[in-house]
Structure 1
Amino acid sequence: MSSSTTAPGSSALTEAGPLSLCEREPHVPADRLVAEMVPPPRFDSVRFSTYIPDPNQPSQSEAVTVLEGFAAGLGGAHASGAGRRGFLGFGRARAPKTPAGPRGVYLDGGYGVGKTHLLASLWHATPAEPSRKAFGTFVELTNLVGALGFQQTVRTLSDHRLLCIDEFELDDPGDTVLVSTLLGKLVEAGVALAATSNTLPGKLGEGRFAAADFLREIQGLSAHFRTLRIDGEDYRHRGLPEAPAPFTDEQVTRAAYATEGASLDDFPRLLEHLAKVHPSRYGALTDGLGAVCLTDVRPVPDQSTALRLVVLADRLYDREVPVLASGLPFDRLFSEEMLNGGYRKKYFRAISRLTALARDAKGLVAP
């Protein structure tokens, strides 16, 4: 997202002053939740042809080839009709009453290897109208069920060719049973699935709750997918300089006033406010922002707060909103205990994305 700014160092400030995330409490109607199940702005123009595989990581090129075949295989009749294609579209088979074998692909790998780029490329490449394919994060999918109800969600998504689920994570047993049942219904209806995660499907929930107690549901989930492992390093930091050091409160405040569409908030107060807004609304929380300016960044106090911050970081990254901050650098947001726990991959992803957005924000401050 581009922003219109006053030249760094100028004394001219926007008349109205900056916005505040803490003053926003968006309410998102159910029809908007469905309509917005498309790739976010950052991934609106990505395609398989714009993905640049690391030549040292053959799994990346292999993933592109497999996904291109998967998209091509979704071009026939809807899978619940007369012409169900085999997995990845290789050949035709008569439509069985119960789908045999995986009906989807699961992209597993570390943060920053381009999984969301590939997932969005698959959505774009699938030959179907936008209303017949859906793209959303795991938390957005579970919120859709909360807004529409389970049966209506099944009816709404059952006529889709493809459902793409980004950031697939199981954080509690309730979500495990809910998503397992939902995806089972959609597969029966002939919907193809694609998902990304930092965790292999058989390992979802591990280290976060008593996954062994829900092994049947987790195994049921993994049976819907063929796993593609994507190796590599975080592309956001390949050959780039170190993350910029935090700025002073005065620099951040002046930049907020001088930048059109910027918000300005005290970081601890923002963390408190996030507890009042459902994470599925964090995208709406950032609507229209040209930049996010934060003062007094400090370590997050607990895991619940940390997980909410992860979702906000994801939505800001999706929408390409630069983040300017004072206080501690973003790589000190999470405690060592958090970074070594069951959610560590989420926290590392948030650090990676916030660091990239901090680089984007450097130009908002005078030298």
Structure 2
Amino acid sequence: MSQTTKIKPSERYQEQLTDGLLTRDEDQSCALPYLDSLVESLSRPVVLSAHKGVMVWRYEDGAAEPRGLYLHGPVGRGKSMLMQSVFDSVPFEEKRRVHFHPFLDELHHRLHKAKPDVSVDVMLYIASNIATESRLLCFDEFFIDHIADGMLLGRLLDALFQCGVTLCATSNWEPDNLFKGGYNRASFLPLLKIIKKHVEPLDLSAGADWRRKGGPTASIKGGSAEADFFQLTQSRPDPGKLALGRHEILVRGNRDGLYWFDFSELCVRSLGAADYMVLCQKATTVMISAIPDLRANVADSASRFVILVDLLYESRIPLRLYSELEFDELCPEGPVAFEFRRAASRCHELMRLNCSM
């Protein structure tokens, strides 16, 4: 299977600089040779063939698979933008970019449905199916907060690498700090070993949060959701219900894809990534009102809010938020605090998308 290389990530980056879409960042510039090298390696001719009951990607010249990339650093450093440039530059269709939370949900679903031949390990069977669809797998927001997920993912990644799949990922955490301080972390170490063996960590910690440099910081304090709903839709809100997966939640207002919810309906109830994905498929704009103080033992609600914002961000869905407090006053304590600050950065960008409506 021959490949023709497209424009390199470094060339895309230079074009965006020339067009004034980016400002040069030292960490991003230092990462570009690694991105170019990976794209060049992935552009060599490959063949997909069966080996011991599973499908495996191999280079026609017998070369070893390249190491993938693990782009890590604080919020707004351009990690997703750089990974997207790799995704856009590789000259084949067998590639996939997916947010990490929905992928974990998908993995559990695949495990439930899997019916491999008795001679094939179930995780190799799943990895083989994934490999036929994607020889490049790009994860957004790689983060482990449950040891069971970490152990499961370790088995899958090991199987994917056996099938010749290359991994790229973005994360707020450097590999050694993943699940640091978590319960029974020793059980997580095999996954850490696999990651270090098969991906190249690239640190983007030193730069600026470019999301907050794109314009004035949006305020969530005060404001009237009802008045904004009327301004945006020229209609009064009509409460109703919306089916999200197996759940039915209350909607304060819905008009032409603009949905207005209270925070309690979206984030206090036990919804998950799969439910939020359904919302992203339906919504053109999302309004969330009555966001409470998240500092008081509401880690589960804060975690759901982070997942929701991540998926809205990936879908570029404009967002409006309403609270009696500002983001900095809402921030929960404990392990979810870092993830919440990342979500806040993304919220500021999504709220600016809404300003022209």
Q: TM-score, normalised by structure 1?
A: 0.73
The question of whether the paired residues in 2 share the 8 Å contact of 1:290 and 1:322 is answered with yes
Shift of residue 355, structure 1, vs aligned partner: 1.8
Distance 1:196 1:333, change over 3 A: same
Distance 1:107 1:201, change over 3 A: same
Hey, what's the Cα distance between the residues in 1 that align with 2:157 and 2:356?
A: 44
Q: Secondary structure at the match of 1:121?
A: helix
The question of whether the paired residues in 2 share the 8 Å contact of 1:106 and 1:194 is answered with yes
Counterpart check, 1:178 vs 2:140: no
In structure 1, the partner of 2:344 is: 351
In structure 1, the partner of 2:331 is: 334
Structure 1 segments unaligned to the other structure (5+ residues) = 1-46, 85-91
Q: Secondary structure at the match of 1:68?
A: helix
The question of whether the paired residues in 2 share the 8 Å contact of 1:54 and 1:232 is answered with no
Matched to 1:220, the amino acid is: I
Q: Secondary structure at the match of 2:338?
A: helix
In structure 2, the partner of 1:71 is: 39
Shift of residue 78, structure 1, vs aligned partner: 3.0
The question of whether the paired residues in 2 share the 8 Å contact of 1:252 and 1:293 is answered with no
Counterpart check, 1:140 vs 2:102: yes
Hey, what's the Cα distance between the residues in 2 that align with 1:151 and 1:278?
A: 27
Counterpart check, 1:244 vs 2:219: yes
In structure 1, the partner of 2:290 is: 296
Shift of residue 271, structure 1, vs aligned partner: 2.0
| Alignment equivalent of 2:210, drawn from 235, 242, 248 | 235
Hey, what's the Cα distance between the residues in 2 that align with 1:362 and 1:329?
A: 18
Hey, what's the Cα distance between the residues in 2 that align with 1:278 and 1:204?
A: 22
| Alignment equivalent of 1:200, drawn from 153, 166, 174 | 174
Q: Secondary structure at the match of 1:127?
A: coil
In structure 2, the partner of 1:124 is: 88
**How many pairs were matched up?**
298
Distance 1:295 1:58, change over 3 A: closer
The question of whether the paired residues in 2 share the 8 Å contact of 1:72 and 1:127 is answered with no
Q: Give the number of the structure whose residues are more often strand, by fraction.
A: 2
In structure 1, the partner of 2:249 is: none
Q: Which moved more, 1:213-222 or 1:141-150?
A: 213-222
The question of whether the paired residues in 2 share the 8 Å contact of 1:53 and 1:60 is answered with no
Hey, what's the Cα distance between the residues in 1 that align with 2:330 and 2:165?
A: 39
Shift of residue 245, structure 1, vs aligned partner: 4.6
Hey, what's the Cα distance between the residues in 1 that align with 2:280 and 2:35?
A: 31
**Which gives a bigger RCO, structure 1 or 2 (Cα 8 Å, sep 6+)?**
1
Hey, what's the Cα distance between the residues in 2 that align with 1:314 and 1:255?
A: 26
In structure 1, the partner of 2:258 is: 262
Counterpart check, 1:285 vs 2:279: yes
In structure 1, the partner of 2:138 is: 164
Shift of residue 178, structure 1, vs aligned partner: 1.1
Hey, what's the Cα distance between the residues in 1 that align with 2:277 and 2:308?
A: 8
In structure 1, the partner of 2:321 is: 325
| Alignment equivalent of 1:155, drawn from 124, 128, 131 | 128
Shift of residue 213, structure 1, vs aligned partner: 4.4
Matched to 2:85, the amino acid is: S
Counterpart check, 1:106 vs 2:81: no
In structure 1, the partner of 2:250 is: none
Shift of residue 272, structure 1, vs aligned partner: 2.9
Distance 1:161 1:298, change over 3 A: same
Hey, what's the Cα distance between the residues in 2 that align with 1:342 and 1:334?
A: 11
The question of whether the paired residues in 1 share the 8 Å contact of 2:70 and 2:201 is answered with yes
| Alignment equivalent of 1:360, drawn from 339, 350, 353 | 353
Structure 2 segments unaligned to the other structure (5+ residues) = 1-11, 48-55, 112-122, 235-254
Shift of residue 111, structure 1, vs aligned partner: 0.9
Shift of residue 239, structure 1, vs aligned partner: 5.8
In structure 1, the partner of 2:162 is: 188
The question of whether the paired residues in 2 share the 8 Å contact of 1:171 and 1:209 is answered with no
Distance 1:94 1:73, change over 3 A: closer
Hey, what's the Cα distance between the residues in 2 that align with 1:73 and 1:94?
A: 10
Hey, what's the Cα distance between the residues in 2 that align with 1:250 and 1:284?
A: 24
The question of whether the paired residues in 1 share the 8 Å contact of 2:100 and 2:140 is answered with yes
In structure 1, the partner of 2:28 is: 60
The question of whether the paired residues in 1 share the 8 Å contact of 2:124 and 2:156 is answered with no
Q: Secondary structure at the match of 2:85?
A: helix
The question of whether the paired residues in 2 share the 8 Å contact of 1:116 and 1:196 is answered with yes
Hey, what's the Cα distance between the residues in 1 that align with 2:187 and 2:142?
A: 20
RMSD: 2.6
Identity %: 28
In structure 2, the partner of 1:83 is: 59
In structure 2, the partner of 1:271 is: 267
The question of whether the paired residues in 1 share the 8 Å contact of 2:99 and 2:311 is answered with no
Shift of residue 166, structure 1, vs aligned partner: 1.1
Hey, what's the Cα distance between the residues in 2 that align with 1:223 and 1:278?
A: 31
